[in-house]
Amino acid sequence: MSLKKPSKRQLQALLRRARFVRDYGMRLVAVDDHECTIAMPYRSALERPGGTVNGPAFMAAADCAMWLAIKRHIGIEHDAVTSELNTAFLNAARRETVYCTARVLKTGKRIIYGTAECHDGKGRLFTHHTVTYSRLS
């Protein structure tokens, strides 16, 4: 029996219902079987002193993009939670939309491993993340 992959519309609806990222205004931009890109619009509430987007916002974007990529890969009805998130801050984002692309690299029976990169609309990299999720079901 093959797993039916959730559509972009179903994943966007899931994202709209997700309370853990509601304050960030994230939206789904693109999705395929192993990759997902979200957009996090600039909001002054995400700014840190000096006018740059704060680190926790990048980490929330990475976690959210990976969560959606995993849901696409294993199905909406299956749950997984973040067990590890490592972040490298490479460049600052200033008053601009941040995009985050997450890729599922390996799916095991209990662990899912991937990467996420936050970038601007032209591909300039802001952060690189490695992400491990634990499957719950």
DSSP secondary structure, 29-72, as one string: EEE-SSEEEEEE---GGGEETTTEE-HHHHHHHHHHHHHHHHHH
Model pLDDT for residues 79-127, shown as the tens digit of each residue: 999 999 999 999 999 999 999 999 999 999 999 999 999 999 999 999 9
Model pLDDT for residues 1-21, shown as the tens digit of each residue: 356 899 999 999 999 999 989
Query: What Cα–Cα distance (Å) separates residue 22 from each residue in 32, 34, 135?
Result: 23, 24, 23
Q: Which residues pair with 133 in a beta bridge?
A: 82, 112
The Cβ of residue 8 has, within 10 Å, a number of other Cβ atoms equal to 15
Q: How far is residue 123's CA from residue 105's CA, in Å, rounded to a whole number? A: 20
Model pLDDT for residues 9-63, shown as the tens digit of each residue: 999 999 999 998 989 999 999 998 879 999 999 999 999 988 899 999 999 999 9
Q: How far is residue 78's CA from residue 74's CA, in Å, rounded to a whole number? A: 6
Domain spans in the chain, listed from the N-terminal domain onward = 8-135
Asked if residues 54 and 48 have their Cβ atoms less than 8 Å apart, the reply is yes
39 CB-near residues (< 8 Å, 6+ apart):
26, 27, 29, 97, 98, 99
Pick the CATH number of 8-135 from 3.40.50.1820, 3.10.129.10, 3.40.605.10, 3.40.50.10240: 3.10.129.10
State residue 33's pLDDT score. Answer: 82
Distance of CA 31 to the CA centre of its chain: 11
